[in-house]
Structure 1
Amino acid sequence: MQTLVFLVVLALAAGALWWVLQRNKRRELERKEAELAPVRQLAFEDVTALGVELQDLDLDLAGAPLDPGASSDYQRALDAYEAAKKAADTITAPEQVKHVTEILEDGRYAMACVRARVAGEPLPTRRPPCFFDPRHGLSVEDVPYAPPGGALRDVPACALDAERVKVGAEPDIRKVMVGSQRVPYWQGGRAYQPYAAGYFGGFSPMNFMFMGMMFGGGFDGLGDGIGAIGEGLGEGIGSIGDGIGGMFDGVGDMFDGFDF
């Protein structure tokens, strides 16, 4: 009889473990989808913005002859737009947004090169996009900026935003929805890290500076992220333990009063 009770308890414990694991899996999938949806939308918006810029470039270049260099850069921009569209269509995780924004950054630089060649100017220095909104294109200088509650740092800015910051005005910041609020994209949470990394990660040593500034204030943000992972693992293990413990308690209650 004791063997039978042990097998029953073991089966109940295994069932509890399976149920907890499945519940946690569902919750994780729901969390990932909730994170992915706004980031995917952000990527589509950026791809659309590049398409609009290409249309504007077409109008500006109407009738203007393109030398081989300008033609090559123009084709590179068109290819970047098509590649970014395809990459955005296949996004299944926030991490994949990084590839989309890398392509968009390269396409915008190619467009800047086209304009420079047509105007007979030197090719632009390859600088990071505007920190306040990467859709603004190449930055032209670094300006000191402190987000609310953050430290003062030099950030790359387009000409218009650089001027705004210098005169004490609010720059034109890219904002995203977090719950029911619109916040700067660097306050959007970990799901937006790949979005920013695609635009800024290639400009070392800016990588760590930007990741720290945007997502937690320096390396403290990295510690917070590791802590959150630890807390999540702890909660999951605790849930499993609680479930198994509950099953054993229930079985014990069932057999109270029986003499084996």
Structure 2
Amino acid sequence: MQSVSNRNVDTVGRILCVVNQKGGVGKTTTAVNLSAALAMSGKRSLLVDLDPQCNATGSLGFEPSDGHAIIGTESIESNIVETQVANLSMLRGSRTLQDVDRLADAGETETSQVRKHLDSIIDQYDFILVDCPPSVGPLTQTALTASTEVLMPIQCEYFAMEGLTQLIQTIKKVIVATDGRLTFGGILLTMYDPYLELTREVDEEVRDFFGDIVFDSVVPRDVSLSEAPSHGKTVFEYAPRSRGAFAYTQLCMEVLERD
């Protein structure tokens, strides 16, 4: 896997699915802060919380929705809320068991419904970022089918590559099923500590395996990234001069360069 595929979609904007089968790797942190960075760069951005844990929703200071608009039959515009960050909107997540079960049992009808909803508003945004649950289950597959790119955060730890084979196979199946609509958008190394030998080993292993699909930008261990969600803020609002804020600014620039 040595190159990034060209996108082959007929939508106006880019729909990035932020996914990893493991929890605690910086998935939601990346979805929240990358969407904020893109918005701050002047790009109209929408963050969609598709994780029943609703951590992305809480990270921006919102309460979960009573029902998830992404699987309804009505237009979703009325359910989109504006955040404190200019150019950044949000579609809140839902913990409603009926919604979770419906998406967990998603067949072609639900999958196409999610894709239809996102495509119906993509001309209003430059970027839509979808925060997925930490799994390769139906919820994640539904999000992948509706997206144009997949972004995978990988924590710099001993088991970083564990389970990725299954995730990559799932992504490849979706790429085939969607006739190339979905492409590999990039791999992001998170919780990066350059002083640790393990971090350097994981960095080398991931870059050797994935090639130029790995972002040059890395996200360091930074307490500001952990603290910001408890205040309902992005890292740019909470600690704009922090290492985490700088890292996501750099990542934003790379994402824009890969258009």
Q: In which range does the TM-score fall when normalised by the shorter chain?
A: under 0.3
| Higher-RCO chain (CA-CA 8 Å, sequence separation at least 6) | 2
TM-score calculated relative to the size of structure 1 = 0.24
**Rg (Cα) greater in structure:** 1
Structure holding more strand per residue: 2
Structure holding more helix per residue: 1
